[in-house]
Every structure is written in C-alpha cells, then in structure tokens.
Structure 1
C-alpha cells in the first residue's frame, strides 16, 4: 500500500505508530499523526522524551494533530473531531489492543483487563494457564498485576507456562524490556512503570546520551536509556537481582 500512496494518516502516537511514521518518511511520503494526547508517549516515557520525539518527527516532516480524535474515515480523507479533514491515500491505525477475555470469563476464570495469573502463570482455575499479551501477572518488585505487550515477554511466558504444565513449578520473574528506533534515535527500556511519582534524568536527551529512572515510593521500577547500552544492561541486571531477592 505504501508503495502506491503519497499521503498517509496515522491514528495514534504509540511506539508502533511512531516507528511507522519514521519508516514512511524514509519513503518520502506525507505523514500526518492524529492522537488524543498533548505529548506523544508521555504516559510511558514522560514529558521530556515525548517532547523530544515530537520535535524529532516534526523536523523530519511529520505533521501532528494532537488532542484530536478521528470521527470518520472514507476512501479519500480522515475527518477529525474539530471538523477538519486530512486527505489520505493510506490510513494506519495504531491505538493499542484489547484482550479477548470472553472465553476466560465464560469459564469462570478471574479477569482484570486481561486474564489474571499467579507467579506460575496459572489462572484462578488450577491447571489452566495463560501467557502472552492476554496474561496479567504479579510484578515481583511491586506486587501489581501487569500486562506487557511485547513478543519477547510472550515467548518467554510460553516457555515457562509449558514447563509448568509439564509439572514444573517455575516462577515467571523475567524483567520486561523493549526498545524503539526512530530515525537516528534509539531508546532502550527495562522494567515496567505504569505510574511513577519521580522521574530522574541524568545526561542529555537532545544529545542522545542519558538515563531516565522511573521511581515510585523510592523504588526504581523502570529505566530508559538513550545512547547508554551498558547502563541499560546494568539496570536490567540490578532488577533481576532485586526480583530474585523477593
């Protein structure tokens, strides 16, 4: 589709949407991004990184329509809630996923924005397990149930669940991680912080040389690094040791 398109509208400002935007800009297409938030990816990465990414994309030609939503899509355009319309040959929607939990609910398995599992990935019904994007498991560092949409997590959970189905009793205590590359910008993220009360920044985001620590209650829940791969690995190792100590 992109090979024949000239104007593209991306709905959403998630990691996938932003990576698609960078990819399509490399193809010399006109790219517009529509999203409800005021700062892209602020909820996950904080306002400083979000603003940097917005400026980075704008310098490369992306046009943002923030604090907006889509009310209609037809063959030639996308209509926004403020009444403005954007001409488009291609529309890409990257607004997240909703877990399909109907089957679990019908069988009486406990759910909460996903299928609830214990540290062994076992559901509330013994000998029934869940893994992957649908599973919400207890984070050993906080006790909160979390759900992570990343293929590495899904792959490793599947392996752990399989061993436990075969009679093992293995905790799933892997520290989640992901990364994103957009233009010349690469960010690595380890841990999981849905909310935080303190964000420590060391270094410079603009110079692509920094470390951000997402903290809550004095505890580091996640670390994002730009241009500091060694510190990312060291942070991951520290979290693994903290988990093993629980």
Structure 2
C-alpha cells in the first residue's frame, strides 16, 4: 500500500489530503504540521476573526473528526527536520522517520521580521493576541502598508485605536497595485483617521515605539510589522531540490525530483498562460493548488493554470483582484473610483492582463475570461461598456 506524505498542515495540505480521498486514493496519508492547531484558513485572521465578527470554529478547513473519519494521519506540533528524496524519507523533530512513496511540500511562508519587540500576523494565536490589544485609545504603529498591514490597520482603527502606518514606498500597496491605485487605498485610510507616513522607514523598533529613518520618534503601545512573507524553502533547498523565489515546479506542481511536489505559497510554478514561473501567496492559490498537486501525485494529467486571485475587506471597501499587473502600460476604469464602486483594468499592448473590482460583485468570472482570451480591447468601450 502506497504512502503519501504532506508536509505542511495548512489550507493547501488539508485540501490535498481531501482531494486524494475524493479521487479514490486508498493508501496511507500522513499530514504533518508544525502548528498545534488543525488546518485552518488564514484570510479571516486579518479580516472577520481579527475584527471579532466570526467564531473560532469558522476558520478551520475540516471538523476535528474529519481526519480520523477519512483515514488521514494528522500529526500536529511536529516539525520536519529533513527530507531525503533519494531515500523517500522524511525525518521528524522527535527523531522518528517517515517513509513515503510520494511527497507534497506545502510549508507556506513566514513573516519577514525586523529587530525589536513587535507583533506579526500569521497564525491564529497572532490574530487573537492582536485582537486583545486593539482596544479604544490604544496607540498602534503598523510597519508596512502591505495587504496585511492595511487590513490590520483597518481592524485597529475600527476598534478605536490611534493608528499610524509607516511605509518607505510613496503610497500603500505600491508594489502590488502601482502608485495610482495604491493612493486610492491610502486615501480611504486617511479619511478614517489613520496617520500615514509614506517615504520613511522604521529604523528601530523599541519598547516605546518606532524611530523613523528621518530621526523622528513615534510612541506606541504596540507595533505590528507587515512587510511581506518569505516562502519556507529551507527543507527543499537542504534536500537538493531546485529553488528560486520558491520551490521550482513544472505546471503539474512536480519539483526537480519526480516523486516530490509543492503547492501553495511555497511553490514557484510554471504557469502555462504566462509562459513563466510565478509564485502566489494568496488564499485561492492554496485552495486550488493543493487539490491540483494531489491529482498530479495520483498520476493524472495536470496543468495548473489558475489566474492569481485575491481579495480584501477594509472598512466599507470590498475588493477582488485577478491576474498579474507586470508590464502593464495602461489602466482603464469603469465606474466611479472616487465613490469606491468601479472596475480597474490593467492593459498591456491593448490586452487586459489584470482586473480589480471594488464594491462591484459577480464579475470575477467575466474579468478572468477577458484576461484569458488575450483579445485586443478598445479602452473607451472597456470604460463604458
């Protein structure tokens, strides 16, 4: 009987285990996670759960009994210390060894850190710790105007905190959306009373706040750092697998070793539509990448070509984004950007390569179909059609 091991008990790993059973795999499934919580979804940690609008039970991928009921050997609080692909073996932190026939690495990413006392938001415990500290009048400094940074800022401000955001880029989400759209999000936070400090960095984090690169000192009750995440590739690198910005895979999510696969935040996979490898850190990639890797492990033909997709909720703004803005030369708007109800299209050479719908719903499929079509569009028709 074959044994499939999944390293990483997050959304990608849990959905891979589920798919293996749904596709008829009757061998042994071992799902290994470093955290002590069973697999859960991370978006609520910076959204509804952080706001206190959803219950703890709502974040989990499966009910507690699902794993035993489906013959999944779930090992929590267990770290993998080494992968030996040539021996088809995984070494664990307790000194034990776990053989496998096929292996999926779904270890995700970890927050990039700065020296000094600060909070980070990655785990359910992180979210609970922040929610407890977000009380009316608390002084909160957010280092980084990233998605996590701005969602955390929105939660803190909604809770009545005094919030300052520090970001060396000229506006929020500058690298994710570009300056033009980033300013829209920055304007929303400014109107909500957030003190935005763009063009300056956190030179030092102390027990009393932050010293900026300008020399100014900001006092705070707590500092939250949200400056991005780094994929956990060290196991793959130590195992001799090919690694770039993530674990390199083909379109079937197979690594440089034929019996080892990677999915989720940690994978830098070849995307058939783009003709190059990409790495996507968002929820939808874990949700769909885990099942795709599972089918590939079973020997099915897989070409994982999902468009990058993510969403955010900040105050009264709800947004969904599809595609990749790299290389765009034009942005076209349909609707009312100032009224926060519109669709933005990023174009390259007259073709739509990305789209973002803000407070406009049930249009994601149409936007993604337009991106996939590769047709040349008329900008005036796109803005008014």
TM-score by length of 1: 0.91
Counterpart in the other structure of 2:94: none
SS of aligned partner of 2:260: coil
Q: Which whole-Å CA distance do the structure 2 matches of 1:46 and 1:222 have between them?
A: 12
Q: Is the 8 A contact 2:322 2:364 kept in 1?
A: yes
Greater shift after overlay, 28-37 or 218-227?
218-227
Pick which of 182-191 and 198-207 moved more. Answer: 198-207
Question: 2:124: which partner in 1?
Answer: none
Q: Which residue of 2 aligns with 1:106?
A: 238
Aligned match for 1:23, one of 146, 150, 155:
155
8 Å Cα contact 1:37/1:66 also seen in 2: yes
Contact 1:190–1:232 (Cα < 8 Å) also in 2: yes
Matched, 1:71 2:203: yes
Give the paired residue count.
Answer: 242
Match of 1:181? 313
Q: Which residue of 1 is the match for residue 143 of structure 2?
A: 11
Correspondence 1:109-120 to 2 at 5 A: 109-120=241-252
Q: Which sits farther off after the overlay, 4-13 or 86-95?
A: 4-13
Structure 1 residues 134 and 195: CA distance shift in structure 2, 3 A: farther
Distance 2:255 2:177 in 1: 31
Query: Shift in Å at residue 87 of structure 1?
Result: 0.5
Aligned partners of 2:137 and 2:162 also within 8 Å:
no
Q: Which runs of 5+ in 2 are unaligned?
A: 1-132, 375-385
The answer to whether the 8 A contact 2:138-2:161 is kept is: yes
Whole-angstrom distance in 1 between the partners of 2:363 and 2:178:
19
Are 1:49 and 1:205, in contact at CA under 8 Å, matched by a contact in 2? no
Which of 278, 295, 301 aligns to 1:146? It is 278
Alpha carbons of 1:185 and 1:142: their partners in 2 closer, same or farther (altered >3 Å)?
Answer: same
Q: 1:162 to 1:207 in 2, by over 3 A?
A: same
Residue matched to 1:224: 356
Partners of 1:194 and 1:51 in 2: CA distance: 18
SS of residue matched to 2:215:
coil
After the TM superposition, which residues 9-88 of structure 1 pair with which residues of structure 2 at under 5 Å, given as runs? Answer: 9-88=141-220
What's the counterpart of residue 233 of structure 1?
365
Change (3 A) 1:89 1:76: same
Unaligned runs of 5+ in 1: none
Q: CA deviation at 1:205?
A: 0.7
After superposing the two structures, state which structure 1 stretch, 62-71 or 101-110, moved more: 101-110
Structural RMSD (CA): 1.9
Residue 212 (structure 1) aligned with residue 353 (structure 2): no
Give the structure-2-normalised TM-score.
0.59
Partner deviation per Cα, 1:114-140 (whole Å, 9 max, x = no partner): 111111000122121100101011222
Distance 1:209 1:155 in 2: 28
- Greater Cα offset, 210-219 or 117-126: 210-219
What is the rounded CA distance, in whole Å, between the counterparts of 1:47 and 1:72 in structure 2? Answer: 26
Greater mean alpha carbon deviation, residues 16-25 or residues 170-179: 170-179
Say whether the 8 Å CA contact 1:5–1:89 is kept in structure 2: no
Question: How far did 1:4 drift?
Answer: 7.9
2:141 and 2:165 in contact (8 A); partners too: yes
Mean CA deviation greater in 80-89 or 3-12: 3-12
How many Å separate the matches in 2 of 1:145 and 1:218? 23
User: Which segment drifts farther, 154-163 or 81-90?
Assistant: 154-163
Aligned partner of 2:255 among 123, 137, 142: 123
In the TM superposition, residue 42 of structure 1 has moved relative to its aligned partner by 2.4
User: Per-residue CA shift, 1:159-211, capped at 9, x if unaligned?
Assistant: 11112112222221222211111111122111223342222222321122222
